[in-house]
Structure 1
Amino acid sequence: MSAARAKRAASRGYTLIEVMAALGVLAIGATGVLALQKATLISNTNARNLAIANSIAMTWAERLRVDALQWNDPMRVPDIASDTAWLALSTTAPFTRVTPTQIPALGAPSADVVGADIYAGDTSASAFCTHVRFSQFTNSASGTLLWGSLIRAEIRVIWERNGNPINCGIAPATVDAQPERFGAVYLTTGLLRNTSEDRR
């Protein structure tokens, strides 16, 4: 190849086909990066929701344990319905999933995006809602109570999977019927009656 011919070939530049091929490779690579970015964002959002819901559920477990300290049956007179804030639901709605009552300065069933309780008058949108279900241990055949001083509490924290604010007035049965719509975290704990009165 002569020097003049080599100089002409070097100054010719890229052809349209070479440019189109390069753009096609770039587009395929960019599409993969964007898909990966979307998947990462969804995974991070799901992980955040799970972590916050777990924190809310553990907070409610502690609230219920503190509430159980008021359940002491002084002089063998049952006081769970009169002296407790939330455990009283075990007498009015046993084995039923319910939304706990909001009690100012103690706890609210709705929480914002960071897991802080939302009380009446707060304009924050609800991102998480809490349901509880209480049951006592009974003999399934006879229905007799086996442990009168122990209550099983199942705590469920839910959120809308699509990221929209949640209506905490939604019936627990509706949540049960639509598992694809709601994300949920479950926590089960035992609540023991305060037996310090028994030792006196």
Structure 2
Amino acid sequence: MSAARARRPSSRGYTLIEVMAALGVLSIGATGVLALQKATLISNTNARNIAIANNIATTWAERLRVDALQWNDPGGVPDRDSDTDWLSLMTTAPFPAKVGPTLIPALGAPNADVFGTDIYAGDPSQPAFCTHVRFSQFTDATTGARRWGTLIRAEIRVIWERNGNPIDCTVAPVVVDAEPERFGAVYVTTAVRRNTSEQ
């Protein structure tokens, strides 16, 4: 009888300690997966914001180049860069000031939604991105005189709130400069040249 009992397979279950150990290993693994998903979500959001901000900045660089078509020599008489829509900010807000470009319906707005689309008056979208521009002339370091009268350096900065909240585009650019941990930013620098064709 005792030999028959010894040959029978054991029908013993898992002990409480084995179950607790398995649950501990499972919870450690699940915590790692959740932390990885959170890091992936944050990285994807940051990548999306940078890509959209790059597109907005590139669009503004092209708008400024088109704006320079109004800076021309009608009848052989050079007009001033103040005859333009946005390049005129160079005289009203000289370097090193950063300013939001003027909203011009159907041409461009300094505020954009989460998709990078301009927000005009009456649009209920909340701003997610704001654009700042800064213009400088190429001048001689010793005399301060303009070296190239037909060339302007344009710096474009597109900002957003890092925490994902809608951005207040009335925040002064100096506040943005002072709080880099709060604002994400993309910078594009380009040169804008006067239209030299006669009209």
Residue aligning to 1:138: 139
Using the size of structure 2 for normalisation, the TM-score is 0.94
Aligned twin of 2:60: 60
Instruction: Note the residue ranges of structure 2 that are not aligned, 5 or more in a row.
Output: none
Paired residue type of 1:126: P
Question: CA shift at 1:184, angstroms?
Answer: 0.2
The residue aligned with 1:39 is: 39
Superposed CA offset, 1:4-54 (max 9, x none): 245462x11100000000000000000000000000000000000000000
Q: Describe the shift of the 1:145–1:127 C-alpha distance in structure 2 as closer, same or farther (beyond 3 A).
A: same
Distance 1:20 1:67, change over 3 A: same
| CA displacement at 1:90 relative to structure 2 | 1.0
Give the aligned length.
196
Amino acid across the alignment from 2:159: I
Matches within 5 A, 1:1-200: 2-5=3-6, 7=8, 9=10, 11-74=11-74, 75-82=76-83, 84-95=84-95, 96-197=97-198
Runs of 4+ in 1 over 6 A off after TM superposition: none
**Identity percentage over the alignment?**
73
Deviations 1:35-87 (A, max 9, x none): 000000000000000000000000000100000011003333423212x1101
Kindly state the Cα deviation for residue 92 of structure 1 after the two structures are TM-superposed.
1.3
Alignment check: 8 A CA contact 1:73 1:80 kept: no
Question: Secondary structure of 1:196's match?
Answer: coil
TM-score normalised according to structure 1 size: 0.94
Give 3-state SS (helix, strand or coil) of 2:33's partner.
helix
Offset of 1:94 from its aligned partner? 1.8
How far the C-alpha of 1:91 sits from its partner, in A, is 1.4
The 1:87/1:6 distance shift into structure 2, 3 A limit, reads farther
Distance 1:15 1:85, change over 3 A: same
For 1:12 and 1:161, locate their aligned partners in 2 and report how far apart those are by CA, in whole Å: 56
Distance 2:103 2:7 in 1: 84
Amino acid at match of 2:183: F
Contact 1:112-1:126 within 8 A present in 2 as well: yes
Matched to 1:188, the amino acid is T
